[in-house]
Homo-oligomer: A and B are copies of this chain.
């Protein structure tokens, strides 16, 4: 019995060890340079060992992506809990997403990698796993909006829809950041980003939109 337990524990440990190595390599050398061999070396394990824990290189990336989304979820969850005012909450969350894209740049790259991969392929349940985590993140946004609605600050009949729009907007902006110099010469990106959030909030705080839809 104790043996089985130990086995299980060791397995978890190895798993974590590999993930840590993958993360390290990813952040140090970037996605394209993150080869299995390099990760194995960083993990101080044989490549074969990696393959007994992960079915393929892609699997490792998927795991990393989940990790990234989990981390993101945790961060904005904490913010959501710590902030009273719905408006401030939303602003802080948006800000956190931007920060995440900066400090966790590589997690962000992986997310994009998957979002950019061909078609809706993704085979099997892998996609679902990823989506699940994305859903988690989204839910925090939804809750944030919902609670604002409850408090009579936000007006919307489709909180989830708005949540998706917000996230998409922020995500899109961060992606476009690469073209910042050309698209918005002389402008501060943060100002632009905040403007987008403000616009969004203004929409939520304004009544009687239903007749428009």
Contacts and interface: CB of A to CB of B under 8 A. Distances in A.
A120 B181 CA distance: 11
A209 B197 CA distance: 13
A187 B138 CA distance: 15
A167 B172 contact: yes
A152 interface: no
B181 A175 contact: no
A49 to B, nearest CB: 15
Consensus secondary structure, chain A interface:
helix
A184 B168 contact: no
A171 interface: yes
B160 A184 contact: yes
B116 A179 contact: no
Given A109-B118, A172-B168, A203-B203, A135 B182 contact: yes
Interface in A113-144: 113-120, 122, 128, 130-132, 134-135, 138
Interface of A: 29-33, 109, 112-120, 122, 128, 130-132, 134-135, 138, 158, 160-162, 164-165, 167-173, 175-176, 178-179, 181-184, 187, 191-192, 195-196, 198-200, 202-203, 206, 209, 212-213
